[in-house]
Structure 1
Amino acid sequence: MLLLRSTKQPVYLPLAGCLAAIAVLIGQPVVKALAPGLQVLFLLLALPALYLIPPCFWFYVQGITSSTRWRPGRAHLKHFVLSGIGLVIVISALLLPGELRHAILVEGDDTALTATSGLVRFIVYGLVIITFLMVLGWVLQAGFYVHAVFRRLHDYRAQLRELFASTEAQEGRWILWLLLAVGGVWLFTAGTLLYDNLVASVPTEAVISNLVVLIMIWSVAIWGLRQKPGFEELYQSNHGTQEVLKSITDNKYQRSALNEQLTDSIVSKLNHAMEHDRLFLEASLSLPRLAKHISRSAYHISQTLNETLGVNFFDYVNRYRVNAAKEQLQNTDNTVLDIAMDVGFNAKSSFYTAFKKDTGITPNQYRKESRAG
């Protein structure tokens, strides 16, 4: 399914690669049962597959958080150098005698080396040492990409709040929860690898480890298929959204034609759009939609909101939504969920968060206090 989607949206291609690499790692029992002749090959491919997972997942996250349509390019090749080294080790191992490979990899019997020449033993021991170091090095590689993804998601959410009034569908919170789980597994794996290779063998419960793997793969597959690029609707936008995103990334707005007179005009139009046209009631309201409504550049609107009003687009719109909700909480008996949907929120949780941020109390507490007074 991911490969089919990648023909139109290349961002799904690295996620398909990530799952394929995981399949190589966890498919050993299946290969052993159904195609024993391929068992040695799959065991060898485990090393490059291991090094494919972090960069592939990183490119997927990079793609769904990109402000422009993501496509694979030559600049991405450097991320696969370590996997390439693993592939060189695979090719080197395939040049060894088949009986020797099977004895060492499948049977775990290194006594077969005694009947080989000194050169072959040197090559085998060299490959073993390099493989051991690469397995340990994967822990560092995975940690690097986990950190990179966390930073990317943090910046991405800040960008979303400059362009959308509702961000739940685009935030990709499942990635954060998945990475927290992966981070825990990574720390456990790192400790296990170090202890297992440097101290003593660590017994593990297969059922528990397989269950953890199953849950993670299920999460990646299901949520990966559901997630769309957050800025997809803006890829073809001509309302200055790319300039807005660049200014957020650079943490400053470039000098523009925005003067005091134009700023006052934009503020006036913004207030009219919210107070008279009640544009904030649109759950899918975005900065380009607002820019089109008041016939002003999205870049100038964003600059006015941040530099003049001291607020981002997300908070500016939700402030009006919260004020409208306050009126309904005081004057109607509608449920909190009905009120949230009626004033433009598309999730109860986001309404509670915005309301408490503005008032310091929950909607139910506000209703009780306002009526008690």
Structure 2
Amino acid sequence: MTQPFEMLLSGITLGVGGFSCFLVAHKMCKQAFYIPLFILILALTLLSAGGTIFVGFEQHKFGYISILAPSFLLLAPSLWLYSNALVASTPWRFKTSHIKHYIPALTSLLLSAAIALAPKSLLQDMFFSNLDVTPNYLSIFISVATMLVIGIWLLQTVGYLLSLAKLTHQYHLKLKHVFCDLTNKKLKWLRIIVAIMLINGTWALLAITDINFALFEAAWGQLLCLLTIWWLGYFGLNQQPGFAPVYNEATAQSSLDSTHFARYQRSALSEQQSQLIAKKIQQAIENDKLYLDSQLTLYKLAKHISEPSQYVSQTLSQVMQTSFFECINNARIEAAKEMLQTGQYSILDVAMSVGFNARSSFYKAFKNRTNMTPSQFQKNIGL
């Protein structure tokens, strides 16, 4: 790929990154969970400046090199903190304790300062020449610090991504104990971000080994960076935390929980107590038909039967051997089967009538419950 194309691609990436930072910064003033997203996009945007700097502004190339270490070390912790904000069960706040995740990036500023203060002739020999460099304290520090940064970055990235995988798995399990509709809450797009960033990291690591292969041309790195920034900007700006719809309900329910907590003497539920709660849940579903509420949550159910939400969830999982998600959707499917047997309603009408928000979620739940689609079910009964 030619240098003009590389510079054009870098310019587009800088434009997309800068505009994304502007939009995220505007939202960041009102919602704190955008702070790590802003840092993440800003770091990626700074990294993407290489094509523009090396092709059009070569006199600033050492300044660009000086920001590489902190920019790389900001990526993984920012993605992890942003993911934490999206899966938090209460409104997320940026706390002083979160700064510890940025200690490697802050420490790497020493390397940035050393590069910024080093003579250009020394930096030219170290980074762009095959000649041996006469060792001195500054060149040794820059060399050792650079290798340490690469090692820390690799360990940091692997550690945070493994933690992120565990975090999202626990989040998906928790969703099913609170919601009966998981639309726009699964954060599947984050998996793609993780995959792209892994490719980005692998590309960067192989590229610095000076492998002479077309795949490691700088333009490919720019393209990966552009894709990452666009994906983060588009989905990040439209994504709300998964538990945001129940923040107020959870706060209100916590008051009820504290009122009822003394009744259970701060101990685990007895069998008699759990059976009583199970009976209340069944009555709420079968008699009161709470499942018809498309926005039903665990907290609404707990409020309806006047029981603490944590004990309702515990009863569902330990006594009734199910989750809130499965319990409500199974009740909806049974009601849907009765309507389908009449042959008087369309499948979409049936889905909406029993509490589903979308045809697709109804189809998926119906097939999981019956091992057949609604259409196949009707054919089996001769309709």
- Give yes or no for contact 1:330–1:371 (8 Å, CA) kept in 2: no
Quick one: distance in 2 between partners of 1:143 and 1:41?
28
Change (3 A) 1:90 1:186: closer
Which residue in the other structure is 2:16 paired with?
Answer: none
- Give yes or no for contact 1:100–1:112 (8 Å, CA) kept in 2: no
1:242 positional shift = 12
Matched, 1:95 2:110: no
Counterpart of 1:341 in structure 2: which amino acid? M
Counterpart of 1:285 in structure 2: which amino acid? L
Residues 21-56 of structure 1 deviation map (CA, whole Å, 9 limit, x = unaligned)? 001111123345676554322221011100101000
Which residue in the other structure is 2:181 paired with?
Answer: 166
Quick one: distance in 1 between partners of 2:312 and 2:157?
40
Quick one: distance in 2 between partners of 1:319 and 1:346?
15
Quick one: distance in 1 between partners of 2:334 and 2:148?
59
Match of 2:253 among 236, 239, 263: 239
Counterpart of 2:174 in structure 1: which amino acid? Q
Which residue in the other structure is 1:135 paired with?
Answer: 150
Matched, 1:84 2:106: yes
Which residue in the other structure is 2:214 paired with?
Answer: 203
- Equivalent positions of 1:181-200 (< 5 A) are 181-187=196-202, 189-190=204-205, 192=206, 196=209, 200=211
**Range with greater deviation from structure 2 (303-312 or 230-239):** 230-239
Match of 2:165 among 138, 144, 150: 150
Paired positions, count: 353
Matched, 1:352 2:363: yes
Match of 2:224 among 203, 212, 236: 212
Quick one: distance in 2 between partners of 1:355 and 1:289?
24
Quick one: distance in 1 between partners of 2:360 and 2:284?
26
Which residue in the other structure is 2:6 paired with?
Answer: none
Which residue in the other structure is 1:370 paired with?
Answer: 381
Change (3 A) 1:235 1:95: same
Change (3 A) 1:48 1:314: same
- Equivalent positions of 1:5-24 (< 5 A) are 5-24=27-46
Q: Structure 1 regions of 5+ residues with no counterpart?
A: 244-252
Change (3 A) 1:226 1:298: same
Residues 204-244 of structure 1 deviation map (CA, whole Å, 9 limit, x = unaligned)? 2555443333222211111111111122243341314998x
Which residue in the other structure is 2:291 paired with?
Answer: 280
Which residue in the other structure is 2:321 paired with?
Answer: 310
Quick one: distance in 2 between partners of 1:223 and 1:347?
21
Change (3 A) 1:282 1:187: farther
- Give yes or no for contact 1:21–1:50 (8 Å, CA) kept in 2: yes
**Range with greater deviation from structure 2 (285-294 or 24-33):** 24-33
**Percent of paired sites with the same residue:** 30
Quick one: distance in 2 between partners of 1:255 and 1:30?
63
Residues 152-177 of structure 1 deviation map (CA, whole Å, 9 limit, x = unaligned)? 01001111111111122222111123
Counterpart of 2:230 in structure 1: which amino acid? W
Quick one: distance in 2 between partners of 1:36 and 1:241?
62
- Give yes or no for contact 1:240–1:299 (8 Å, CA) kept in 2: no
Normalized against structure 2, the TM-score is what?
0.81
Q: RMSD value over aligned CA atoms?
A: 3.0
**Range with greater deviation from structure 2 (59-68 or 253-262):** 253-262
- Give yes or no for contact 2:291–2:328 (8 Å, CA) kept in 1: yes
Change (3 A) 1:49 1:184: closer
Counterpart of 1:227 in structure 2: which amino acid? Q
Change (3 A) 1:188 1:290: same
Match of 2:66 among 34, 41, 44: 44
Which residue in the other structure is 2:191 paired with?
Answer: 176
Match of 1:54 among 71, 76, 95: 76
Quick one: distance in 2 between partners of 1:350 and 1:140?
39
Quick one: distance in 2 between partners of 1:55 and 1:110?
35
Counterpart of 1:239 in structure 2: which amino acid? Q
Quick one: distance in 2 between partners of 1:132 and 1:101?
16
Q: Structure 2 regions of 5+ residues with no counterpart?
A: 1-22, 258-263
Counterpart of 1:210 in structure 2: which amino acid? Q
Quick one: distance in 2 between partners of 1:270 and 1:171?
26
1:349 positional shift = 3.5
Secondary structure of 1:239's counterpart equals: helix
Change (3 A) 1:326 1:97: same
Quick one: distance in 2 between partners of 1:139 and 1:266?
50
Change (3 A) 1:274 1:202: same
**Range with greater deviation from structure 2 (174-183 or 6-15):** 174-183
Which residue in the other structure is 2:12 paired with?
Answer: none
